[in-house]
Amino acid sequence: MPRPPKARLEILAAAARIVKVRGAANLTFEELVLESGISRGGITYHFATKEDLLRALIAHDLAQGIEAERQHSEQLTDEPGADLIALIRTWCAPDSERRQFIAGMLSAVAHDPSLLEPVREHHRCMHQDTRWDDDEIRRSVIRLAAEGLFWSEYFGCNEVPDDQRPRVVAELERLARDWSTPTAALPTPMIKSKKTKKTRPK
């Protein structure tokens, strides 16, 4: 009997629930059998080791983030900086579920940094042909600011008061629009000739 195609997603969803509540350290195949209702053999068919499962969880979280960006981008058709604004709205969205997942994964990632390889590979692919001109530097500043806001809030180190947060996010979006809008070449300033000092006849 063929395995249902959704089995892998069901395993990942069950594993994510365990990580959110009890952390990656408590993610065992025994716990996963109980949480998912899928047999040990059914789980190891898709994920031979716990490390394979953890990498798949990170890759799945990454894919969900990319999909969220795509959905935001679709709502911003023809708007300057749409891809940057989509990234800002993805990183700055109040998502307690994702924060719980990240909290549950931190110890595992600290113990084995190679688990983040799917994320590193994504960034390599995204920027392998990037031309780091002035425009791209500005885009990078916006990306780093949006991600930095997420992580500073996550660790409780954010200096921005809650009532001012919408203004910060709005300013990031404004910069994304402004820095993505082609500007006309500025006219060359006219060079003023130096005034010759008039001398009075003696």
pTM of this structure: 0.79
Helix or strand or coil: residue 38?
coil
Q: How far apart are CA 18 and CA 111, in angstroms?
A: 18
HSE at residue 61, side-chain half, CA atoms within 13 A, is 25
Tokens standing for 99? 């924060």
pLDDT for 35 equals: 96
Options 1.10.10.10, 3.40.50.720, 3.40.50.300, 1.10.357.10; which CATH number does 7-180 get? Answer: 1.10.357.10
Q: Is 45 helix (H, G, I), strand (E, B) or coil?
A: helix
Tell me the mean pLDDT per 10 residues along the chain, length 202: 70 96 94 95 95 95 93 88 94 87 94 94 92 92 95 91 95 94 50 49 52
CB 68, CB 87: distance < 8 Å = no
Give the Cα separation of 36 and 57 in Å (integer).
Answer: 15
pLDDT at 55: 96
Per-residue DSSP letter, 26: G
Q: What is the pLDDT of residue 1?
A: 43
For the chain, domain boundaries: 7-180
Torsion angle of the four alpha carbons 59, 81, 90, 66, in this order, in degrees rounded to the nearest 10: -20
What's the confidence (pLDDT) of residue 171?
97
